[in-house]
Structure 1
Amino acid sequence: MQFGKLTSASQPLQVFQCNSAVSESNPVPSFFPFHTNNGVSRPLFKMASLICSEMVSRVSSILNRDAKQFGKSFMFDGKEETCWNSDQGSVQWLTLAFPQTVRVSQIVIQFQGGFASQKCTLKGFRNGEELPETAEFYPEDTNSLQTFPMKEMQLEKLKITFENSTDFFGRIIVYRLDVLGEKL
């Protein structure tokens, strides 16, 4: 993985790796920015889930248009047995419109193996305009929960495009999706 150099107008920022793994019981991210002053390192901000009931989500498709079994809300319900299942197609996507401006730092996602995206593209929007910066990450074709640190983006809406599905028909299955960062 590549990480950009983090800088601040007042002082340089450093990125440290945590020794503990991200899990349900330990939601501490693998990488996050710290401010170091007189040898004491403190997080720049408290990272938290940005998923909330006021957020509006949209998806490109739902398998057989059966939202009761495969709808988008199942990515956020915290249940292991439910998921969003897209219909077939070469590219799938989802959008998340947040109720306020947020700073996005990490994407946490769990695919079903065999129905994963090999390349994901993130685009941000603020004040109805697409931001010039985009980010990409490359998930593994696995059932495991995967965490992707990213260059921080301040936005109101996030679009994740799922390209190169491992499924022959282009279907994507997501059991869990979380966006970590800070509400501004």
Structure 2
Amino acid sequence: MHTITKKKEKQSNMSELQNIFQNKQFKCSVSSVLNKDVKQYGKPFMFDGLEDTAWYSDQGLPQSINIVFNEPLESLNLSLCQLKIKFQGGFVGNVMTVSLDDINSQNIYKKSFYPDDINDLQTFTLDANTNGKSLGNVRKLSIVFEKSSDFFGRIIIYSLELMT
């Protein structure tokens, strides 16, 4: 696993959603990297904020991204929580399952989403009929891409954000 650390930024307005990957430390692992070329296509490129870098998976399904937070998220309000992903059109995980696990590795949330095969930033709200429910002690976020718009099962992601 590779540790990715972002500096804590000042929160200018508490009413605005913040990208949790910018102010929390976490470890990210992915199922594969194209030709094992992590310097050109590795997982850190999903979080670097640059428009011309991306994580490229190798071929085959399923593909996955696993994020383990160094410290558990104490309270995650699912009605406000959004997963934002920018795919490369033609290489979209068009069936994906998002899961959250607690500090005891117990699954506490699971929902499937169906991204469009487009290049634009897509937003997925993790509400799942929670009626404002908050989850405590979230330790792990998993995203599994069960299908791809690419015939060979490749996925390309330019940016990944978890807004809370």
TM-score (norm 1): 0.70
Question: Are the aligned partners of 1:123 and 1:130 in contact in 2 as well (CA < 8 Å)?
Answer: no
Structure with greater proportional strand content: 1
Amino acid at match of 1:165: S
Alignment of 1:18-29 (within 5 A): none
1:91 aligns with 2:62: yes
Alignment of 1:61-100 (within 5 A): 61-100=32-71
Question: Are the aligned partners of 2:63 and 2:144 in contact in 1 as well (CA < 8 Å)?
Answer: yes
- Counterpart CA distance in 2 for 1:58 and 1:162 is 14
Question: Are the aligned partners of 2:101 and 2:109 in contact in 1 as well (CA < 8 Å)?
Answer: no
Runs (4+) of structure 1 exceeding 6 A deviation are: none
| Structure 2 match to 1:120 | 96
SS of 1:68's equivalent? helix
1:164 aligns with 2:147: yes
- Counterpart CA distance in 2 for 1:46 and 1:126 is 25
1:50 aligns with 2:26: no
Are the structure 2 counterparts of residues 93 and 178 from structure 1 closer, same or farther at C-alpha, using a change threshold of 3 Å? same
Question: Any stretches of 5+ residues in structure 2 without a counterpart?
Answer: 1-13, 128-133
- Counterpart CA distance in 1 for 2:46 and 2:153 is 18
Amino acid at match of 2:35: N
SS of 1:117's equivalent? coil
Tell me the number of residue pairs that the alignment of Structure 1 and Structure 2 aligns. Answer: 138
TM-score (norm 2): 0.78
- Counterpart CA distance in 2 for 1:130 and 1:140 is 30
Alignment of 1:140-155 (within 5 A): 140-151=116-127, 153-154=135-136, 155=138
Question: Are the aligned partners of 2:45 and 2:55 in contact in 1 as well (CA < 8 Å)?
Answer: yes
- Counterpart CA distance in 2 for 1:137 and 1:167 is 17
> Which deviates more from structure 2 when the two are superposed, residues 92-101 or residues 169-178?
92-101
| Structure 2 match to 1:111 | 87
Are the structure 2 counterparts of residues 153 and 122 from structure 1 closer, same or farther at C-alpha, using a change threshold of 3 Å? farther
- Counterpart CA distance in 2 for 1:116 and 1:138 is 10
Deviation, structure 1 residue 129: 1.7
Structure number, greater radius of gyration: 1
Question: Taking every aligned residue pair, what percent have the same amino acid on both sides?
Answer: 41
| Structure 2 match to 1:139 | 115
Amino acid at match of 1:94: I
- Counterpart CA distance in 2 for 1:107 and 1:144 is 14
Question: Any stretches of 5+ residues in structure 1 without a counterpart?
Answer: 1-42
Deviation, structure 1 residue 46: 5.3
